[in-house]
Amino acid sequence: MNSEPASGWSDELFVVALTGGIASGKSAVSRLFDALGVQVVDTDVIARELVEPGKPLLNSIVTAFGHELIDAYGRLKRRKLRKIIIKDDEKRAQLEALMHPKIAVEVSRRLSEIQDSPYCILVVPLLAEKGGYKAADRVLVVDTDRELQIKRVMERDDVSREQAIASLAIQASREERLAIADDIISNRGSLETLAVEVERLHGKYLVLAERHKAMVQTTGQVS
């Protein structure tokens, strides 16, 4: 399940929205930023937390989609739900209508609590699809080859090539994501190479975040 916060995130905090297609390496990139001391807010992580056993949102999903989506331990059968929304646009929209407002509230809460981070990385898989990039101070797109994505999805989710391609098909195209990018990080090589790129961008974002902070302090707003 993917997730998308509402617009209007934070005027004071410099927010870098991190996005990319399925299995592009968003998690690897966000972990590297986290290791540099940058606060990371991941909407996919929030989405998973909101549907833990006993949570109100899980009950809403069960009401809408049926009890067959719950296992013997009261947990959501995420893979089964994913298959449903890949095949059915209407059900995908129904799920998004349930989840996105709740995710948006939690994103806003977590952003408002950030104090000791020079800037924030906000991971939003559906950034290009839902237009949330307009609320970001900077958009970072993780880019990789389509065939590599397919291979990673097949291995990670234990699905067929056809199922992996179907997962890619419901997301924005590579071209659509690159069109909204302020910065692009290529994830086609080693983790070491990726780390070098993240460190380069970190230096850049530190400078931009300081400028942002200075502008807020002097004018009370950002341009």
In a domain, 196, yes or no: yes
Q: How large a percentage of the chain has pLDDT more than 70?
A: 93
pLDDT digits (tens, 9 = 90+) for 127-153: 988 777 778 999 999 999 999 999 999
Residues 49, 56, 60, 72, CA torsion sign: positive
Query: Residue 14 in contact with residue 119, Cβ under 8 Å?
Result: yes
Determine the pLDDT at residue 7: 42
**How many domains, the chain?**
1
Determine the pLDDT at residue 222: 55
Print the domain residue range for 172.
Answer: 15-53+104-219
Query: Residue 90 in contact with residue 110, Cβ under 8 Å?
Result: no
Query: Any residues with CB less than 8 A from the CB of 15 and at least 6 apart, and which?
Result: 9, 111, 119, 120, 122, 135, 136, 137, 138
In a domain, 76, yes or no: no
- Give me the mean pLDDT over the 163-167 stretch: 94
Q: What is the CATH number of the domain that holds 24?
A: 3.40.50.300
Whether the pLDDT of residue 223 is over 60: the answer is no
Reference 96, options 56, 47, 167, 54; nearest CA is: 47
Dist CA 192 CA 144 (whole Å): 16
Query: Residue 56 in contact with residue 214, Cβ under 8 Å?
Result: no
Name the DSSP letter for residue 117.
Answer: -
Average pLDDT, the chain: 91
Determine the pLDDT at residue 5: 42
Whether the pLDDT of residue 4 is over 50: the answer is no
Q: Which two tokens stand for residue 22?
A: 């399925």
In a domain, 63, yes or no: no
In a domain, 174, yes or no: yes
- Among 4-8, 99-103, 164-168, where is mean pLDDT lowest? 4-8
Name the DSSP letter for residue 24.
Answer: S
- Give me the mean pLDDT over the 36-46 stretch: 97
**If pLDDT is split at 50, 70 and 90, which confidence band does 8 have?**
low
In a domain, 95, yes or no: no
Determine the pLDDT at residue 221: 57
61-78: b or e for each residue (b if 16 or more CB lie within 10 Å)?
bbeebeeebbeeeeebee
In a domain, 110, yes or no: yes
- Among 46-60, 119-133, 178-192, 193-207, where is mean pLDDT lowest? 119-133
In a domain, 151, yes or no: yes
Whether the pLDDT of residue 214 is over 50: the answer is yes
pTM, rounded to two decimals: 0.89
In a domain, 73, yes or no: no
